[in-house]
Each structure stands twice: as structure tokens, then as C-alpha cells.
Amino acid sequence: MTDLHRIILYSFFSGSTVFLGGMLAYYFGEHVKSGLLKVEIIHSTIAFGGGILFAAVALVLVPEGMQALTLPWIVLSFAAGAVAFFFIDRYLQKRGGTISQLLGMMLDFVPESIALGAVFAANTNLGVLLAIIIGIQNFPEAFNAFLDMKTTFTVSKCLFIFFLLSFSGVISALIGYYFLTGMHITIGALMLFSGGGLIYLIFQDIAPMSQLKKSWVPALGASLGFLVGMISLKILG
């Protein structure tokens, strides 16, 4: 099996959890009875996904980006991501859209998939492990994004969107493989741009949605999500 075939296979695996997470959220919403337990599960999952996103910023996107860039480009890339998603979020709010979870997932998923494709030729083991970690991250993030989106879109439209997004990992990985292999500065700038956008989304949209009055359980989900990120980084070595 060639590197190209492996990249397609592993990036498809990591992307498939986007659709699987959406399907789980659909069945959860349809078949789990309403009540305090269901509400706590939803808020805890949102916090868990937020913890994973925060871990992606703190442990992967920012360290890798800072290693590749000089200080002026670090500041410019990170600030550009934060400002860009400030305007995107304001625009969506004015239109009544609720896709902050989806944006957060894609800001994490796409640059990491690009990095997967870019590093695969030089370090196959790193590429495989990165694909596994991306797949694990996508699952709770897609679960939250579906619950977020179904208030705006129909269930069938949400699932169709998630099905299409499942293939974005393959496309991103191929872009990384064919166009960005060895281009550490470009990849670093992309990671910092994503990191800036994610920090904005986490504190503006995701963290406030995870809070639940008279319940302290959801906050543990954020800590657990960050722990998952730490474990993932340790596996990568």
C-alpha cells in the first residue's frame, strides 16, 4: 500500500467519526427521555468537547505554530484567527445561526488533517497516530455540533451536512500531502490562525453553553476533555 493510499484510508477513518457523532446525537435526542440526566449529559458533552478543543489549542496548534514561526508572524496569525471568527460569529448571530460547535470542530479538524497529510511521507507512524487522535476528537465535537445545529436546520439536512463534512478530512489531508509537505511556516500559520479562532469560540459560545445551574457535573467534562488531549499528546511522544 502506497503512502497516498494510506493517507486516504486513515483520513477517511478520522473523518467518518463526524457523521457517526452526528448519528449518535440524533438517536440520543430521539430515544433518551427528557429530564435532568439528559440535560446534564448534553451539557457535560458540550464541556467535554470544549475541553478537547482547548487541549488542541494548548497542546498541538499553538506549540506547533510557535515552533515554526517568528514572533511577528505568530502574533499576526493568531490575532487574524481571533478577529476573523469574531466577525464570522457576529454575522451568524445576526442571521440567527447556531453553528459555533461546528465551526470549532472544523477549526480543529481541517488544520490537523492537513498536517496529517503533510507529515505522512516523512513519519508514517506519526500520521497514523494523528489520524486516530483526530477521529477520537471529532466524535464528541460532532455530537455537540449536531445538537447545536438541529435548532436551526432539519435533522435530514444536518445529517447530510455531516456526511459531506466526513470527507473534508480526506480532502484536507491530500492538500497537505501534495501542496504543503515541508512547508512548515505555512502549516504553522494555519495552526495559529485556527488556534486564535478556537479560543474566541470556546470562550464566547461553547463554554457558556456548557454551564448548568445547580449542577457541577458539566465542568468535570471540560477537565476530562483536556485530559484526553494530554493523553493524545503523550501517545504522539
**Residue 141 has what pLDDT?**
81
Classify residue 202 by its DSSP letter: I
Give the DSSP letter string of 124-171.
HHHHHHHHHHHHHHHHHHHHHHHHHHTTTS-HHHHHHHHHHHTTHHHH
pLDDT digits (tens, 9 = 90+) for 29-57: 887 777 767 778 877 887 887 888 888 88
What's the whole-number mean pLDDT along residues 109-120?
84
Whole-model pTM over 0.95: no
Pick from 18-27, 54-63, 96-105, 197-206 the range whose average pLDDT is largest. Answer: 18-27
Tens-place pLDDT, residues 161-209: 999 999 999 999 999 899 988 888 988 898 899 888 888 888 877 777 6
pLDDT given at position 138: 85
Least confident of 1-15, 118-132, 152-166, 177-191: 118-132
CA distance 221 to 78: 26
20 vs 139, which has greater pLDDT? 20
